[in-house]
Chain A
Amino acid sequence: MAIYKLQINGRSYEADVEADTPLLWVLRDNLGLVGTKYGCGIAQCGACTVHVNGNAIRSCVYPVSAVGESKITTIEGLSEKGDHPVQLAWDEVDVPQCGYCQAGQIMTATALLQKNPNPNTEEIENAMNGNICRCGTYHRIREAVALAATKLK
């Protein structure tokens, strides 16, 4: 076990865990940030997506020891009041069914829009294709990403 200092959502945290512990489980079990979800544990579904220095990564396969000084953003830190344009678009389009995959979907979409504020449908699909939604909300996800892009302008 070792103490890891982590910069998450603009705050400092410490966790005493083993070096190979995936960031996902540090967030969920040690820091109480359970918005980031477990779906597969092998980087196949995207439910655990968070940002490391603005890049979308799969936290289920990202060991805490690799985080270092990097700045992490989770769904809880996307906005103070839940009014990030992507979150607003998700509500407006009424995307969620069970909702379990949606934190990961939103984090993937936000990272895409930060790099490409004007994605076409193909670019949206390429970015989002790694995120599974078992309930099949794909149409609305696509629509919400496009709507969020207009809100970010």
Chain B
Amino acid sequence: MKLAATAGGGLFLGFSWTSSVASALEVVSDTALAAGKIDFNSYLALSPDGLITIFSPNPELGQNIKTSFPMIVAEELDADWTKVKVIQAPLDTNKFERQVTGGSGAVPHSWERLRKAGATARQMLIEAAAKRWKVPASSLSTENSMVIHKASGRKLSYGELVTEAAKMPVPAEVKLKEPKDFKLIGKAVRNVDNHEMVTGKPLYGIDFYRDGMLFAMIQRPTAFGMKLKSVDAAAAKAMPGIVDVVTFKNNVAVVGKSTWQVNKARKALKIAYEKEGALESSADHDRLFKELLDSKEATVRRKDGDVDTAFKNAAKVVKGEYQCPFLSHAPMEPMNFFAHVRPDGVELVGPTQTPERARGEVAKLLNISPEKVTVELTRLGGGFGRRLAADYVLEAAELSSIIKAPVKVIWTREDDMTGGTYRPAVRYRFEAALDAKGNMIGYKLRGVGINSGNPTREDNFPSGAVDNLLIDSVEHQSPITTGPWRAPITNFLAFAEQAFLDEVAEAAGKDPVQFRLALLEKAKKAPVGEIKYDIDRMKGVIELAAEKSGWGKKKGVAQGFSVYFSHRSYVAQVGEVELKNGAPVVKKIYAAADCGQVINLSGANQQVKGGVVDGLGHAMYSNLTFKDGAPEQNNFSTYRLIRMKEVPEIDVHFVNNGIDPTGLGEPALPPTGGAVANAIYKATGKRLRNQPFMQQAEFKSA
């Protein structure tokens, strides 16, 4: 690093990389760490000075887990929240289970464990006080990091009891609080990292620095279906700051002393590629989808009753086809990872949603045992599913093993957007058979997708509510890589299904809300096959959203309804749309969510609003298309994300039904597209069946 204090300035006396590295990994200050803390369990350590350290094992990408997990521990501990310090735990499969961010599953999985971790330590503190005061433990209570003996008015702080408490036997059984006694859970608690974030502390993987570390960028094939043929790196190698150019698999890595230098040198590479697979274009996919929708062969996902007879006897048949484009995850922090492969082990540092997978795959790649690999988790600048894959971790590890040096691989935005694992493109065909009274007696859904896996959710509503039902799918294998994208599959399927049900309700002459409620009623009274969603919870959010939005009661307001169950939670939404110069403007969205017990009201509000903004933005604007295997959009100039002016008012409500938490990182996203499309139909009379809405012929010019 070329850096010097200027003689005249005098204020700046040198920059210490070491301190920056330390704070990159630890949010808590060193004094907090040095306070002689005593571990009570994997999640919790207490210090004689009263400081409470809570370890948060799951990757934090904005879902606020680093605040909500510790809240659960602190609740059962009756901790003074102002004395709680939260530390991101590294990957440790001995201490923790499921150190994964994905599937909206962290809180449901850990709820009990975290409560018990807090309650166990609390019980040990009580036992220590009981012993000291020679009173029965049952006569003691706790509050705000204090053990209290009401009868005598005596109090001892947790700090004073820590040393003795740690020696108490660990209770096998502990009593957990009644939800009505919660003091922290359900309240709005600010993000524990706010101060670090608003002051620009090095929290993210891309901020990580280590003395002697090299920087690298990788040129990957410019199109899916191409492979590396030859590389002429002479010019690049001669450029300032370049240490080496190495080739592995289909990658050409430029390694050097700074990000800008490797970025510049990379442009001087002369690389030839050759075809190794199909070079697909979006126009090919459009054609292919039509073929696959009529394919004789399909994987049957669910079959109830006899659809052929139902459709033959139908008084009316409704059909609709819906098409979903590829999307990039586009987290604001592009992919990056630090790796140092040494003879005795491997050090990995960076943003990943699945540290255990990263460790396992790196161990396999380098043919070493996973115990030799450590994974330090930085804060993630978003993930949205992209960081469930380990491709970018493997690249960093492979590169470090070749150059035998610590290296941080950074992706440019262009690399990130053209580098794959997209939300898959899918086309759906829905068909509904109605009898003379407008009852849905038959339902067919076929989903056909590009590397989509199963593009249906066959056991979701309305399955179980229709006597004759067939859901099947066909998948096309493509060189274009795909992967989970926030609320996988349902992020679009929910729109398609809820928009289609709106069409069916209209054909049946029924109000969209009443139509859905009647189907749920039918599923309850005369269920068809297995029902894998909770009818009452779904009904609950439908009714709450209808009530809060004044459904059907507002004159001159175009409203659209949508409801969806995803992962383990239920969200209903009502969109309100106005026309401005012929173009639809989304004015307001009401969201009613049932995620069970809300942990942090502030974070939960963020997840719902953020999910709605995410769902709305991508439904309206975002599109990734291909020409000859290459993505046609590579940065935010051509790939549109939603911006502040396009965001409507969002009104969030939670159902309070006392059940344990069921997760909220994804479920608010899927219903938004449907609520908006159905409102746009009310406002314009135009049924939108493809996304993004604003690129459809109807509104393109508006």
Where the two chains meet, the residues of A that have a C-beta atom closer than 8 Å to any C-beta of B are 1, 5, 10-18, 20-22, 25, 28-42, 44-45, 47, 74-76, 78-79, 82, 87, 90-92, 94-103, 106, 125, 128-142
- Do the beta carbons of A44 and B259 come within 8 Å of each other? no
A-B contact list, 17 entries, CB within 8 Å: A10-B11, A13-B6, A39-B333, A41-B413, A42-B413, A45-B636, A75-B200, A78-B199, A87-B198, A94-B188, A94-B190, A94-B606, A98-B382, A100-B382, A133-B644, A135-B606, A137-B606
B20 touching A34 by the CB < 8 A rule? yes
Interface residues in B, total, Cβ within 8 A: 74
Specify which of A30, A40, A102 is in contact with B635 (CB 8 Å cutoff).
A40
Q: Which of B4, B61, B198, B209 has the most CB of A within 10 A?
A: B198
* A134 and B332 in contact, given A30-B1, A30-B258 (Cβ under 8 angstroms): yes
Residue B247 CB within 8 A of the other chain: no
- A-chain residues with CB within 8 Å of residue B259 when the two chains form the complex: 25, 28-29, 38
| Closest CB in chain B relative to A72 CB, distance in Å | 13
List, in ascending order, chain B residues with CB within 8 A of A130's CB: 643
Q: List residues of chain A with CB within 8 A of the CB of B248.
A: none
Which of A41, A74, A75, A96 is the one whose CB lies under 8 Å from B412? A41
Minimal beta-carbon separation of A4 from chain B (angstroms): 10
Q: Sorted from nearest, which 3 A-B pairs have the closest CB atoms?
A: A35-B200, A12-B9, A136-B613
Verify if B497 is at the interface (C-beta below 8 Å from A). no
B residues less than 8 Å from A32 (CB atoms)? 3, 15, 17, 20, 209
User: Which among B1, B332, B617, B635 has the highest number of chain A CB atoms within 10 Å?
Assistant: B332
Please give, as numbers and ranges, the residues of chain B lying within 8 Å of A44 by CB-CB distance.
635-637
- On whether the beta carbons of A139 and B6 are closer than 8 Å, the reply is no
Judging by beta carbons under 8 Å apart, are B260 and A135 in contact?
no
Which residues of chain B from 398 to 439 have a CB within 8 Å of any chain A CB?
Answer: 412-413
Give the chain A neighbours of B20 by CB distance below 8 A. 32, 34
Q: List chain A residues, Cβ under 8 A from B209.
A: 32, 34
Known contacts A75-B200, A99-B203, A138-B613; is A31 also within 8 Å of B15 by CB? yes
Q: Which of B365-413 contact A (CB under 8 A)?
A: 379-384, 412-413
- Cβ contact within 8 Å between B199 and A87: yes
The complex places the Cα of A3 from the Cα of B198 at a distance, in Å, of 31
Contact in complex: A16, B636 (CB < 8 Å): no
Return the CB mask of B176-192 against A: 1 if under 8 Å, else 0: 00000000000010110
Interface SS of B by simple majority = loop
Q: Which chain B residues in 645-661 approach chain A with CB under 8 Å?
A: 645, 647, 650
B606 touches A97 (CB 8 A): yes
Choose one: A22, A33, A92, A135; the contact of B62 (CB below 8 Å). Answer: A135
For A34, list chain B residues within 8 Å (CB).
Answer: 20, 200, 202, 206-207, 209
Determine the residue in chain B with the shortest Cβ distance to A126: B645
- Compute how far the CA of A38 lies from the CA of B65 in the bound complex, rounded to whole angstroms: 24
Cross-chain contact of B200 among A36, A39, A94 (Cβ < 8 A): A36
Instruction: Assess whether A137 is in contact with B610, with CB atoms less than 8 Å apart.
Output: yes
List, in ascending order, chain B residues with CB within 8 A of A90's CB: 194, 198
User: Contact between A13 and B636 (Cβ–Cβ < 8 Å)?
Assistant: no
Structural contact, B11 and A139, CB atoms closer than 8 A: no
Q: Give Cα A17–Cα B240 distance, bound, in whole angstroms.
A: 10
Determine the residue in chain B with the shortest Cβ distance to A98.
Answer: B62
Apart from A29-B258, A35-B200, A130-B643: 13 A-B pairs, beta carbons within 8 A: A1-B240, A12-B9, A16-B2, A25-B260, A30-B3, A30-B258, A78-B199, A90-B194, A100-B332, A101-B381, A133-B332, A135-B614, A141-B644
Query: Is A139 in contact with B641, judged by CB distance below 8 angstroms?
Result: no
> B325 contacts the other chain (Cβ, under 8 Å)?
no
B609 beta carbon closer than 8 Å to chain A: yes
Q: Which B602-647 residues have C-beta < 8 A from chain A?
A: 602, 606, 609-614, 617, 635-637, 641-645, 647
* Distance in Å: Cβ of A143 to nearest Cβ of chain B: 11
Chain A residue numbers with a CB within 8 Å of B642 are 136
Task: Considering the complex, give the chain B residue whose CB is closest to the CB of A87.
Answer: B198
Q: Does A98 contact B331, Cβ atoms closer than 8 Å? A: yes
Which residue of chain A has its CB nearest to the CB of B10? A12
Give, as a whole number of angstroms, the nearest-CB distance from A132 to chain B.
5
Chain A residues positioned under 8 Å from B74 (CB to CB)? none
Whether A96 contacts B191 by the Cβ 8 Å rule is yes
Residues of A within 8 A of B207 (CB): 28, 34
B197 lies within 8 A of chain A by Cβ: yes
Interface residues of B in 438-482 (CB under 8 A from A): none
Is B201 in the interface zone, CB < 8 Å from A? yes
Chain B neighbourhood of A101, CB < 8 A:
332, 381
Among residues of A, the one whose C-beta sits closest to the C-beta of B207 is A34
Chain B residues near A133: list those with CB within 8 A.
332, 644
Write out the residue numbers on chain A whose beta carbons fall within 8 Å of the beta carbon of B63: 97
In the bound assembly, the distance between CA atoms of A14 and B6 in angstroms comes to: 7
Q: A79 — which chain B residues lie within 8 A by C-beta?
A: 199
With A99-B381, A138-B613, A139-B609 known to touch, is A35 a contact of B645 (CB < 8 Å)? no
* B204, CB-defined interface residue at 8 Å: yes
Bound CA–CA A99/B603 (angstroms) = 13
Which residue from chain A places its CB closest to the CB of B2 in the assembled complex?
A: A16
